[in-house]
Homo-oligomer: A and B are copies of this chain.
Amino acid sequence: MPQDRMPTIRDIAERAGVATSTVSRALANPQRVNARTREKIERIAAQLNYVPSTQARGLSSGRTGAIAVLVPDVTNPFYFDIIRGTQNQLKAAGYTQLLVDTEEATDVELEALRRLRRTADGIILAASRLTDQQLADAAARQPLVTINRATADAPTVLIDTPGAMVQALEHLDSLGHRKVTYVGGPTSSWSTHRRWNALQEAASRRGMEISKIGPYTPKTSSGAAAADSALRTGATAFIAFNDLIAIGMLQRFRERGVRVPEDVSIVGCDDIFGADFCNPPLTTIASPIEQAGRTAVSMLLAQLDPLRGGTPRKLAVMPTHLEIRSSTGPAPGH
């Protein structure tokens, strides 16, 4: 692999008969240099197939040109969409995306944050497992935007799932379900508490009976246990923390011969890839996940150079809606 020394601005400078500083300016600051000189330099650069060293540039400028995206689990389709959103927007802005999987673990998250302090210009933190204090510390050290984890210390993108939870409850109510169970996500997840609170309140307002089981890991494989446990609550409808769990439950119900939606109804959350083609297709809370990723990037970039970005928003709330498919139906005996 004979990768001969890469050309530097110095090589260009020599061939062009100018100083390196002129080359640097010609490339980064075109109007600072005479058009003829610039063209000459550009020509030589192209000819040498010159690529500036991000490293060296970063050293003097203090920026790395990279933004890190931290997600709890890269394989969770929910985060795919986030990543797709950030990827798009970052590329458009000329940034590189560093993808980090924090394995749903606080310490991994903290360690990543620490290392990245020098490696990335900013961080997008999806569904952080950190405490308020830890988040505040992190935000004080580096530009940060959180997704689905509100904090006073950093701009946040929230997907308004709780809002649609209420819709889901109404939907179930109108189908005659009086007793509903919420299938909770990981205890460390801020979202699951938020959703449960919204549900509780809405249920009591409508005089519906609601209970909670869990916590469950947000994977389809948790669905079996969740399904069994859910059945024991005696509820006729279940609202799952997310689609992964809901899909897992669907599979388990099928195994056990419990018919959906004839015997029980089930509502998922997120409308991830697969929610529309599982069996039966899942009624779920659809969220503009990808857009959340894009918005997070915008908010972060605005924070990075406040000059251009206008007033940086501190909070963006993404609208959601209930996507009714076939996993919900009339309560038995209705």
Question: A287 near B: Cβ within 8 Å?
Answer: no
Q: Are B279 and A118 in contact (CB under 8 A)?
A: no
Q: Are A3 and B140 in contact (CB under 8 A)?
A: yes
Question: A317 near B: Cβ within 8 Å?
Answer: no
Cα distance A77–B51 when bound, in Å? Answer: 33
Question: A59 near B: Cβ within 8 Å?
Answer: yes
Beyond the given pairs A55-B59, A220-B277, 7 more chain A to chain B contacts, judged by CB atoms under 8 angstroms and listed by A's residue number, are A2-B140, A75-B81, A75-B273, A250-B277, A274-B277, A274-B278, A279-B280
Quote the shortest CB–CB distance from A78 to chain B (angstroms). Answer: 11
A66 to chain B: which residues have CB within 8 Å? 98
Cα distance A247–B98 when bound, in Å? Answer: 31
Q: Are A119 and B96 in contact (CB under 8 A)?
A: yes
Q: Tell me which residues from 72 to 101 in chain A have a Cβ below 8 Å from any Cβ of chain B.
A: 74-75, 77, 80-81, 83-84, 87-88, 91, 96-101
Q: Are B277 and A247 in contact (CB under 8 A)?
A: yes
Measuring CB to CB, which residues of chain A are less than 8 angstroms from any residue of chain B?
Answer: 1-3, 6, 49, 51-56, 58-59, 64, 66, 74-75, 77, 80-81, 83-84, 87-88, 91, 96-101, 114-115, 117-119, 139-143, 220, 247, 250-251, 273-274, 277-280, 303
State whether A74 and B83 are in contact (beta carbons under 8 Å apart), knowing that A96-B119, A273-B273 are contacts in the complex: yes
Quote the shortest CB–CB distance from A93 to chain B (angstroms). Answer: 14
Q: Are A117 and B51 in contact (CB under 8 A)?
A: yes
A49 to chain B: which residues have CB within 8 Å? 114
Centre residue among A2, A54, A139, A251 by max chain B CB count within 10 A: A54
Listed from nearest, the 4 A-B pairs whose CB atoms lie closest are A279-B279, A274-B274, A55-B58, A99-B99
Number of copies of this kind of chain in the complex: 2
Cα distance A66–B99 when bound, in Å? Answer: 11
A114 to chain B: which residues have CB within 8 Å? 49, 51
A140 to chain B: which residues have CB within 8 Å? 1-3
Q: Are A273 and B99 in contact (CB under 8 A)?
A: no
A277 CB contact (under 8 Å) in B6, B87, B279: B279
Centre residue among A66, A81, A247, A274 by max chain B CB count within 10 A: A274
Quote the shortest CB–CB distance from A258 to chain B (angstroms). Answer: 16
A56 to chain B: which residues have CB within 8 Å? 55, 59
Centre residue among A51, A117, A273 by max chain B CB count within 10 A: A273
Cα distance A54–B115 when bound, in Å? Answer: 9
A101 CB contact (under 8 Å) in B6, B59, B91, B118: B91
What are 9 A-B pairs with beta-carbon distances under 8 A?
Answer: A1-B140, A59-B59, A74-B80, A74-B83, A75-B80, A75-B273, A91-B101, A96-B119, A279-B279
Q: Are B91 and A84 in contact (CB under 8 A)?
A: no
A115 to chain B: which residues have CB within 8 Å? 51
Cα distance A141–B52 when bound, in Å? Answer: 15
Cα distance A98–B91 when bound, in Å? Answer: 12
Q: Are A118 and B1 in contact (CB under 8 A)?
A: no
Q: Are B101 and A98 in contact (CB under 8 A)?
A: no
A54 to chain B: which residues have CB within 8 Å? 55, 64, 118-119
